[in-house]
Structure 1
Amino acid sequence: MLPALILAGSLLRLTLLVDACVTAPATPEANTTFTDNTVFIPDADYTSWKTIYGRSLQLPDDSLLMTWEDYPPEPPLVYFPIYRSIDGGATWSEYSRVQDTQNDWGLRFQPFLYELQNSWGSYAAGTILAAGVSTPANLSGAYIELYASTDSARTWTFVSHIAYGEGPELVTNGDKAIWEPFLLEYGDAFVCFFSDQRDSAHAQKLVAVTTSDLVNWSDDFDVVAYSEYDDRPGMAVVAHIQSTDNYILTYECCGSENCQAYYKVSSSPLTFNSTTGVPILSNDTSKTAPVGSPYVIWTSRPDRVDGSGMIIMNAASNSEVFINEDSAGQDGWKMVDINQWSAYSRSLRIIDDAGESRLFLGAGGNMVSDSSCNWVSCGVVGLSDLV
């Protein structure tokens, strides 16, 4: 529990920062639906974007975890903070920290949380994984790192280097950078997708590597790679459409497509490179094209009993979500207002909220020109509001 003086200071910072951007909502009731609830407010001396790139996980005890890119002044080394909620996202407190124990660089970019559904090597089902980019403050090189927790995210140990880029870890074409890991179990392969600038034939492409033990990783293979050098597909997210046993990949297509959200569908998450990517457009008269950092999930529908579901995606440019049928038709994307803030790489997750399935949104900020507006928030939406 925070001392009263620190708590008062935190509330004052909340007022000062939020008043310049939005009106902060009151703390919601536990296990309810709500809009843009506060998870974490960065201190005034935070640098860069302060916070960004929120990611979530629900544990078997129904508690929720959130992490994000965190930009406090250095030293000490930056790390991925883990915050926890035991009341459906209504209130949050610091729970643990994923810290760089290998490189003396810090854990800086694009964290991702994952719970193992199966055993891999010496890591049992139920192990919690955290992946992300470790790079020094001067961005001279980067590893995508994997850490594990066997005690429900209370403590963390290093597992393996997933990939290495010589750097600099910048988005300038030609820099040998790597970004944005996404983890997935598929059959006898544990897969990590990531964005890759190391191939001289591509400013950036999407690749994947696999492992059977979380320690030894395969060579990378292409997931999305365009013939035009300047095109930069990035930010891979994959969801399993259970009713059709297909997989959907969303990604941003920067370069000639100005970071518009695209998607591919394949019978296997290992064969996306053989399918064609198509842009996402809303099927109303606005023909809205979501742009930047798309995220996608699948869930069963609450209004059907036939096992069918809905694909849910969002992107940084819109506060709305885009809903599609399991067939993932190009003309099937319905734009739905959910009364939540937009955010850069806003993550989506279906949670068990006191026995009811709901949509949880994790946000770290929208990288607006006034970075003091970036702080970590979450929202919960009823699935019936999406159909």
Structure 2
Amino acid sequence: MHILMRTLTFAALSVVALGSPAMMRAVQPSPWSNFNDNPIFYPNINATSWRTLYGRTLQLSDKSILLSWEDYDPAAALTYFPIWKSTDGGASFKYFSRVDDQVNGWGNWYQPFLYALPEPFGGYPKGTILLAGVSTPRDLKEAYIDLYASANKGRDWEFVSHIVYGPGREVIDRGEQAIWEPFLHMHKGQLICYYSTQVDPNHNQKLSHKTTKDLRHWSQEVDDVAEPDSSVRPGMATVAYSPVSKKYVMTFEYCGGPIASGCPVYYKVSNSPLAFGSVTSQPIIPNDGQLNPNGSPFVIWTLEPGNNGNGIFIASGNSREEIFVNTDAVDPNGWKPINVGQWSAYSRELRIINTPKDSAAQGEQKLLITNGGNIGCSGSCYNFVANGVVDIPNYPRS
């Protein structure tokens, strides 16, 4: 979680100025179509903190899509992670379930992350849905990154394990022992959880990971980005893998780094998802002569349409509406911006979704972009959850 505070884009502010969430309703998109800036959920105007933040999705085997986010329901005694469901390609969502804090008595507060087991693991069958997120009490005095599981496609949830403990307080102030931003990835019979941690007194913040072979017992912490300059603050790691080049890419924000003010987006390339700590980081600088994307990045990999089995990495940063595309080779000079017409947002999520062959999309894969709003937006503007679906871009080669 970075210090950079950024409000919604001008387009978003223009509708917020209308003053009433009900007035912001757009025409609902057609099922399995392309669309941009589609409002999904408007929180209560009295909701605390940022009202909503940090949207995350997961597509299931039946092509339905689950969605969660940070939610600050003023009517709830304890905060929880809502689970909403779409059966029409993200055009509309309905409430489906919720993930309550079952063990700490604090509430589930920050950065939910959804993941489906790609194989049987830890006593759970293939396809079991995992949710990792931060649980902390209202006074933020301590925190856990906790793991929950659903064996019935997100309808019911059970606590599985504590992944990481932060003695607190759960705030971004230097010297506070907070933990943030879990990201899950399966690799060779073990589940990896990447996260940000302020617990080490030698670092303002660093990126680390733990692994598990049974979902209940977690390894010792291993550092992925731990700079010797204790004043800098890397954060918000996400990881993507190319089965073509066998390369893993980690993106993260690098607050206080050498190239720009704010929190420019950096990345690492590794042959192993467990070995980012030994790899040099570098910034994503697009070739359009403009500013490096800044803040809360996300990265995915997908096959490039019509390119004979070759793939592309797609990255996003908070300060730019564009996405940034590179080939399997991950050429440092190869990142190119592409306008997808979707509002920028704090930790805007990217996901490739499958469409039915009998739908308007005719079975083509699409790029789903999910927005939860912007950090710092609580009184002066109105966060809500929105999304967009666009064609997967080709890498610009001209």
- Quote the residue 1:63 is aligned against: 64
SS in 2 for 1:49: coil
Which of residues 352, 361, 364 in structure 2 aligns to 1:356?
364
Distance between the aligned counterparts of 1:32 and 1:105, measured in 2? 40
- Quote the residue 2:275 is aligned against: 271
- Quote the residue 1:332 is aligned against: 334
Contact 1:253–1:261 (CA under 8 A) maintained in structure 2: yes
Counterparts of 1:117-266 in structure 2, within 5 Å, are: 117-257=118-258, 258-266=262-270
- Quote the residue 1:107 is aligned against: 108
The answer on 1:347 being equivalent to 2:349 is yes
Q: Specify whether residues 319 and 23 from structure 1 end up closer, same or farther in structure 2 by C-alpha distance, changes over 3 A only.
A: farther
Which residue type is aligned with residue 95 of structure 2? E
Contact 1:144–1:179 (CA under 8 A) maintained in structure 2: yes
Distance between the aligned counterparts of 1:113 and 1:75, measured in 2? 22
The Cα of 1:132 is off from its aligned counterpart by: 0.1
The Cα of 1:368 is off from its aligned counterpart by: 5.4
SS in 1 for 2:49: coil
The TM-score, its normalising length taken from structure 1, stands at: 0.93
SS in 2 for 1:273: helix
The answer on 1:377 being equivalent to 2:386 is yes
Distance between the aligned counterparts of 1:124 and 1:95, measured in 2? 22
Q: Specify whether residues 76 and 323 from structure 1 end up closer, same or farther in structure 2 by C-alpha distance, changes over 3 A only.
A: same
The answer on 1:318 being equivalent to 2:317 is no
Identical aligned residues as a percent = 47
The Cα of 1:372 is off from its aligned counterpart by: 3.9
SS in 2 for 1:373: coil
Distance between the aligned counterparts of 1:50 and 1:29, measured in 2? 27
- Quote the residue 2:18 is aligned against: 19
The Cα of 1:285 is off from its aligned counterpart by: 2.8
The Cα of 1:120 is off from its aligned counterpart by: 1.6
Contact 2:148–2:159 (CA under 8 A) maintained in structure 1: yes
Which of residues 289, 294, 315 in structure 2 aligns to 1:285?
289
Contact 2:304–2:395 (CA under 8 A) maintained in structure 1: no
- Quote the residue 2:4 is aligned against: none
Once the two structures are superposed, what CA deviation does each residue of 1:346-373 show, in whole Å capped at 9, x if it has no partner? 0000000221100001110023555542
Which residue type is aligned with residue 282 of structure 2? V
Which residue type is aligned with residue 47 of structure 1? T
- The higher-RCO structure (CA 8 Å, 6+ apart) is 2
Once the two structures are superposed, what CA deviation does each residue of 1:33-60 show, in whole Å capped at 9, x if it has no partner? 0001111100111111100000010000
The Cα of 1:339 is off from its aligned counterpart by: 0.6
Once the two structures are superposed, what CA deviation does each residue of 1:104-127 show, in whole Å capped at 9, x if it has no partner? 000000000000001222111110
Distance between the aligned counterparts of 2:332 and 2:365, measured in 1? 27
Aligned length: 371
Contact 2:239–2:299 (CA under 8 A) maintained in structure 1: yes
Note the residue ranges of structure 1 that are not aligned, 5 or more in a row: 1-14
Once the two structures are superposed, what CA deviation does each residue of 1:121-170 show, in whole Å capped at 9, x if it has no partner? 21111100000000000000000000000000000000000010100001
Once the two structures are superposed, what CA deviation does each residue of 1:293-319 show, in whole Å capped at 9, x if it has no partner? 0000000011211x2111100011111
Contact 1:209–1:218 (CA under 8 A) maintained in structure 2: yes
Greater CA drift, 148-157 or 346-355: 346-355
- Quote the residue 2:5 is aligned against: none
Distance between the aligned counterparts of 2:251 and 2:393, measured in 1? 24
The Cα of 1:23 is off from its aligned counterpart by: 5.9
The TM-score, its normalising length taken from structure 2, stands at: 0.90
Q: Specify whether residues 41 and 117 from structure 1 end up closer, same or farther in structure 2 by C-alpha distance, changes over 3 A only.
A: same
